[in-house]
Structure 1
Amino acid sequence: MSAKASKAAGTLRFEESARQIAANARYIAGGVNSNFRLGMAPGPLVFERGEGAYLVDVDGNRIIDYYCGMGATVLGHSPAGVIEAVRRQAERGILFAGQTPIEHEAAKLICEHVPSAERLRFGSSGSEVAQAAFRLARAATGRRTIVKFEGHYHGWFDNILWSTAPGLNAAGPADAPTPVPGSRGQDPKAGDGLSILGWNDLAALEQRLARGDVAAVMMEPAMCNQGAIAPAPGYLEGALAACRKHGALLIFDEVITGFRLARGGAQELFGVTPDLTILAKAIANGYPVAALAGRADLLDLFAEGVLHGGTFNAQPVAMAALVATQQALTPEHYGCSSARGQRLQDGIRTILAEAGIKAQVAGFPLMFHIAFGLDQPARNYRDVAAADKAACVRFALAMLKRGVRVLERGAWFVSSEHNEAVVDATLEAVHGAVREIG
């Protein structure tokens, strides 16, 4: 049966991916190079190429992709401008262990568009620049403690991989969460410098800050690692005011929200400017670039004894990708892409409601989330954790068999390449998937 016919019947098959993953495991642990690529049904997929909103796998399936590189490919999988910029820079050179004009251009673009970015430093991953943010905050304040929130993810390192997706049986009471490590082998003492709170609870945050020992509060300004949850009215403003009052810094993790919720990220959308911001993913449409940006007086500490290094920081080819990506993120891009993303989100909500399937479809035009089994929109991690995860997995598999790839945790990322025809095809697949799981 052809891939097209299989898609029509909702029976895409993935035997060659399974065979290649098994072969990979001879040399690559688990057959993949990130644990976040494990666990999905029917198994990890192997892709040959990307074309706009589509991925083509080794079984010949052409699949509409809403993973978007885990949120990174805001311009789709093959943007001509980015590809050409990368080609031109690669011909000039790949890595110099020195500075280049292109990194200045890249930094200027970020500082012009992200409200908190007076200065920045580039890195290679969100996990990495989160560590730089913690070091900077501790140097600036002379304090040790970092406040983080249940369900928020700031990287896979031992000192921050706590309570990112804890089981509620282990998480303790909502008003005094128990820190839960995220991995076997994690140093149990690495979390000693953390204080875990529930998000969107301003009173709890103010009470914790009043103890006077917090260097920084780190949060996703819109909770998108788990769900796609907006801050409660006044929450971000209150958090900033409380940090100011008690001498702590406010750090926004905009690895996911940056360049998706708005050109200037969630801080532009919600009108709250933090002290520091970490950026990655969509900053360069899939090239390995991250940044720590913020107040000039804080970032300048990196030239005054606070160590920040990295062989691949501001790698010229990646900087060229960043510049081309940022130049493409025009008001027209956000207007068109957001309209289609909102139509998709509204269409899914309508289809689920008409089928009598209880679910909350919530979030933002270019990043939203489906939580099955919830009566009300989620406000925090514990609300999201109560959703029917098994239903989400069944739905994702039913969609994949119909040629649409969505994350099993319920997240959907939309790119500029998800045009009207792609949205129509997606909604048709939703109709079929709902009939299958209903």
Structure 2
Amino acid sequence: MNRYRQSEELLNRSRRVLAGGVSSTLRAAMKPTPLYAVAGRGARIQDADGHTYIDYLLAYGPLILGHGHEPTVERLLSSMRNGLAYGLQHQGEIELAELLTKVLPCADQVAFSGSGTEAVMLALRLARAYTNRRRIIRFHGHYHGWSDTIFTSFPSTDMKASRKRNVMSQVIRYDNDTHPTEARVIPGTGGQSEAALQDIILLPWNDAEALKDAVALYGSTVAAIISEPVMCNSGCIMPKPGYLELMRELTAANGIVMILDEVITGFRFGLGGAHGVFRIMPDLVTIGKAMGGGIAISGVAGRADIMELIADGTVSHLGTLNGNCVATTAAVATINELSRDGGAVFARMEKSAADLSEGLRQAMKDHDIQGIVNQAGPVFHLMFTTERQVDSFEAFQKRDADLYITFAQEMLEEGVLLRPNGLWYVSAAHGEAEIRETLAAANRVFARWGEDKS
């Protein structure tokens, strides 16, 4: 019996009319086949074949409250009865902007867009216009959307083409082991203009000396340094002590705009994002994913003097559906829910992630499987690796990515939905029952692996 027959039939039907059969390249990587969903509730999702899974994909991050969160759905339905989008201003924009400037430490003003990619595009334009400079420093293993001017070759097992690229060859080169020189930056996809990346300086993250050297050499031409505050996409690697503080010091001293990309960490690490937790004050942050609870919305928040470049017309901010009433309603509802009881939900999500992480570590130890779980708040990365610790992009690259794909496929058969690259999201809807079932499933998978070895 084919467990995924309906999903396979729907995929074949889709391929005749939808390029690739899926609406995002990432989704094509799921094994044994991309799943078709029919419903979700809380921490669980059901596919077209009638199977229910505990969901740690969470729509690649946005579902911070889980599927079908009833209070949010009711607010959305009420809002939608008055209209979906106006192409005019409405009070929801003001309500959300006031809320964001209250909870985000760095936010004097905000601007709304539809996706993380768009938010990053706007932040970079603001930085270039503000400084009248062109170069951007970014880091290996970080993801900032897929626009031509920032999307470099990305080492994700979700993305087939990226697995064929030697991404480490992009690291900035050194002359005589002392001075960095520019290196060719490889585009992230076919059809992307390589010339669009000529202003990118690509550095190893968490390397203080490389950062200081690059700023010393290029600082007068650098408009912005953009970084995830935690390298969630590549190993859930925390910043080394003092690293973000050094970045803040160097950017302030050299007139460079510091941008923290909080599309993942925003409203997941806390109401104030990772910059609130780490007490770092960037000039701009990008936000998205969890902010809308599953409805598409993103934004840029930051210093008034930089954001003012939108108001005075220096930087055009365009987008037909920017700040539409459905999106702002979803964001306000989500943030209000996360704010209940002083934000107690964040502690619960972090405990769930910690319990899962420790349980998975113990399961690997019990079954003599080499691996590491890096947890950062309510998100963690599971890697099969012989490395004793994964605290750099280089160490992350040494994981057995193919073995994890096998693990994700076998966990799917056990009723647990995982992203094939190793990144797990935990929502407010995940509780003790889901954790117990997940760990039991992982132990069954690892036990079978042990039997196969013997």
Task: Specify the TM-score bucket, using the shorter chain as the normaliser.
Answer: over 0.9
In the TM superposition, 1:177-192 aligns within 5 A as 178-192=184-198
Contact 2:170 2:185 in 1 (8 A): no
Cα drift, residue 178 of structure 1:
4.6
Contact 1:168 1:382 in 2 (8 A): no
- Matched residue type, 2:330: A
Which of 294, 310, 328 aligns to 1:302? It is 310
Name the structure 2 match of 1:9. Answer: none
Q: In angstroms, what is the RMSD of aligned CA positions? A: 1.4
Which of 407, 414, 427 aligns to 1:415? It is 427
- Matched residue type, 1:49: A
Query: How big is each residue's C-alpha offset from its partner over 1:242-280, in whole Å with a ceiling of 9 and x where there is no partner?
Result: 111111110000011111122211101211110000000
Q: Report whether the alignment pairs 1:263 with 2:271.
A: yes
Name the structure 2 match of 1:222. Answer: 230
Name the structure 2 match of 1:381. Answer: 393
Contact 2:296 2:327 in 1 (8 A): yes
Change (3 A) 1:311 1:173: closer
Contact 1:302 1:308 in 2 (8 A): yes
- Percentage of identical aligned residues: 36
- Matched residue type, 1:195: I
Contact 1:199 1:380 in 2 (8 A): yes
Cα drift, residue 163 of structure 1:
3.4
Q: How far, CA to CA, are the matches of 2:171 and 2:119 in structure 1?
A: 29
- Matched residue type, 2:266: G
Contact 2:153 2:167 in 1 (8 A): no
Name the structure 1 match of 2:251. Answer: 243
Which of 317, 321, 326 aligns to 1:317? It is 326
Q: How far, CA to CA, are the matches of 1:352 and 1:422 in structure 2?
A: 19
- Matched residue type, 1:433: V
Q: Helix, strand or coil for the counterpart of 2:119? A: helix
Name the structure 1 match of 2:80. Answer: 90
Query: How big is each residue's C-alpha offset from its partner over 1:389-427, in whole Å with a ceiling of 9 and x where there is no partner?
Result: 111111111110100011111000000111111111111
Q: Report whether the alignment pairs 1:350 with 2:362.
A: yes
Q: How far, CA to CA, are the matches of 1:249 and 1:378 in structure 2?
A: 29
Aligned residues: 428
Name the structure 1 match of 2:65. Answer: 75
Contact 1:253 1:278 in 2 (8 A): yes
Q: Helix, strand or coil for the counterpart of 1:148? A: strand
Give the gaps of 5 or more residues in structure 1: 2-11
Contact 1:46 1:57 in 2 (8 A): yes
Contact 1:398 1:436 in 2 (8 A): no
- Matched residue type, 1:319: T
Give the gaps of 5 or more residues in structure 2: 156-161, 174-182
Name the structure 2 match of 1:7. Answer: none
Q: Helix, strand or coil for the counterpart of 1:272? A: coil
Contact 1:359 1:374 in 2 (8 A): yes
In the TM superposition, 1:41-56 aligns within 5 A as 41-56=31-46
Which of 204, 214, 219 aligns to 1:208? It is 214
Q: Helix, strand or coil for the counterpart of 1:184? A: coil
Contact 2:149 2:197 in 1 (8 A): yes
TM-score scaled by length of structure 1: 0.95
Q: How far, CA to CA, are the matches of 1:363 and 1:374 in structure 2?
A: 18
Change (3 A) 1:169 1:124: closer
Query: How big is each residue's C-alpha offset from its partner over 1:306-335, in whole Å with a ceiling of 9 and x where there is no partner?
Result: 111111000101111111100011322112
Name the structure 1 match of 2:168. Answer: 171
Name the stretch that deviates more: 288-297 or 204-213. 204-213
Q: Helix, strand or coil for the counterpart of 1:278? A: strand
Q: How far, CA to CA, are the matches of 1:181 and 1:43 in structure 2?
A: 28
Q: Helix, strand or coil for the counterpart of 2:98? A: helix
Q: Helix, strand or coil for the counterpart of 1:38? A: helix
TM-score scaled by length of structure 2: 0.92
Q: How far, CA to CA, are the matches of 1:255 and 1:99 in structure 2?
A: 25
Instruction: Extract structure 1 runs of 4+ deviating beyond 4 A.
Output: none
Q: How far, CA to CA, are the matches of 1:399 and 1:178 in structure 2?
A: 39
Query: How big is each residue's C-alpha offset from its partner over 1:116-163, in whole Å with a ceiling of 9 and x where there is no partner?
Result: 111000000000111001110000000000111111111111111113
Q: How far, CA to CA, are the matches of 1:178 and 1:221 in structure 2?
A: 25
